[in-house]
Amino acid sequence: MHNRMMITGAGSGLGREIALRWARDGWRLALSDVNEGGLAETLKMVREVGGDGFTMRCDVRDYSQLIGFAQACEEKLGGIDIVVNNAGVASGGFFDELSLEDWDWQIAINLMGVVKGCKAFLPLVQKSKGKIINIASMAALMQAPGMSNYNVAKAGVVALSESLLVELRQAEVGVHVVCPSFFQTNLLDSFRGPTPNVKAQIGKLLESSPITAADIADYIHQQVAKGEFMILPHDEGRMAWKVKQQSPQAIYDEMATLAEKKRAKSKAF
C-alpha cells in the first residue's frame, strides 16, 4: 500500500474528517472541493496531524475537472489507493413542490458526481488494486418523505456501488458504500428547498444527532479495514435497515405517518 487517498467534498464536514482520520496514519491526501477556503483549512489541519498532500478546486459536475484531478494525483502522488466520492448537497421538499431543476441539480451532484468520480479514477484504482468508498445516505435505504430527489440520487449511489462491487472483484478493487443518517455537518449551507421551514426541521434533526462527523470517519476507517461493503455508522440506522429488510410495510406505514406530520407542519407556517 502506498497510502494515497483522494477525497471530493473535502473542504468541510465528513470529507474533512475522513481526511484527518487517514492523515493520522500518515497518508498523503488529494483533496478537492468547490470551496477553496475550506480546502486550504483542511490541508492545514491534515499537516498538523501528520499527513500531507495537495488541494485542487473541483466541481464534480464537470467530468473534465475530475479527469484533471486524477492526472494531478498521478503526477504529484504517483497514483491513488483509495478514492472517496463524498461531495454532496442536501435537498428537500414534497414531490409536488419540487421543480425539475431541483431534480437535475440533485442528480447532477449527488449521483452523477459519484459516477464521474468513479469513472475518472477507475484506471488509477485498478492499477493500485485499491478501494472505492462512495458516501451515500440512510435516505438511500429508508426514503423519508419530503426529499424524493435526494432519496433517488442517494439510492443511485448505493446501486452504483453494488454494481461496482461485483464487477470489480476480479480486478481486486474493493468497494464500500457508507450510509450515514443525519449528523452535525454544514450540509445545510448548501440546502435547497421550496420552504424555509423544511430547512429548520432538518436543522433540528441534525442538532439531535449525538454522533459527529469525526465519529463517522472513525467508524468508516474501522469497517473499511474489516472489508465491510455496506457501512451504516448509526445504531438507529442499522436497526431501521434491519426492520425494513424484514417487514418493509412497517417502515412504509411509519414514513406515511411522518409525511402527514411534515405536511401539517409546513401548512402551519
Most confident among 78-87, 210-219, 257-266 (mean pLDDT): 78-87
Indicate whether 115 belongs to any domain.
Answer: yes
> Whose CA is closest to 135, among 262, 39, 46, 8?
8
- Spell out the residues 6+ positions from residue 167 whose beta carbon is closer than 8 angstroms to its own: none
- Considering the chain, what is the average pLDDT of its residues? 91
Indicate whether 168 belongs to any domain.
Answer: yes
Indicate whether 228 belongs to any domain.
Answer: yes
| Integer Cα distance of 23 and 47 in angstroms | 8
pLDDT digits (tens, 9 = 90+) for 120-177: 999 999 999 999 999 999 999 999 899 999 999 999 999 999 999 999 999 999 999 9
Whether 150 is a known active-site residue: answer yes
Indicate whether 67 belongs to any domain.
Answer: yes
Which of 202 and 58 is assigned the larger pLDDT?
58
Indicate whether 209 belongs to any domain.
Answer: yes
- Spell out the residues 6+ positions from residue 91 whose beta carbon is closer than 8 angstroms to its own: 102, 105, 106, 147, 149, 150, 191, 192, 193
pLDDT of residue 186: 44
Which residue in 63, 150, 219, 252 is the catalytic one? 150
pLDDT digits (tens, 9 = 90+) for 13-58: 999 999 999 999 999 999 999 999 999 999 999 999 999 999 999 9
**Residue 206 pLDDT level (bands cut at 50, 70, 90):** low
pLDDT of residue 6: 98
Percent of the chain, pLDDT > 70? Answer: 88
**Residue 188 pLDDT level (bands cut at 50, 70, 90):** very low
Number of domains in the chain: 1
pLDDT of residue 84: 98
| Integer Cα distance of 269 and 252 in angstroms | 26
Percent of the chain, pLDDT > 90? Answer: 75
pLDDT of residue 145: 92
User: Whole domain around residue 127: which residue ranges?
Assistant: 4-235
Helices 235-246 and 248-268 cross at an angle (nearest 10°) of 120
Helical (H) or strand (E) element with 190: none
β-partners of residue 53 are: 29
Residue 185 has pLDDT above 90, yes or no: no
**Residue 203 pLDDT level (bands cut at 50, 70, 90):** low
Indicate whether 90 belongs to any domain.
Answer: yes
**Residue 209 pLDDT level (bands cut at 50, 70, 90):** low
Mean pLDDT on 178-199:
59
Residue 244 has pLDDT above 60, yes or no: yes
Q: What are phi and psi of 125, to 5 degrees?
A: -75, -25
Residue 67 has pLDDT above 90, yes or no: yes
The domain that holds 170 is classified in CATH as 3.40.50.720
pLDDT digits (tens, 9 = 90+) for 222-241: 999 999 999 999 988 898 89
Residue 268 has pLDDT above 70, yes or no: no
pLDDT digits (tens, 9 = 90+) for 74-95: 999 999 999 999 999 998 899 9
Indicate whether 83 belongs to any domain.
Answer: yes
pLDDT of residue 91: 86
Indicate whether 256 belongs to any domain.
Answer: no
Residue 220 has pLDDT above 90, yes or no: yes
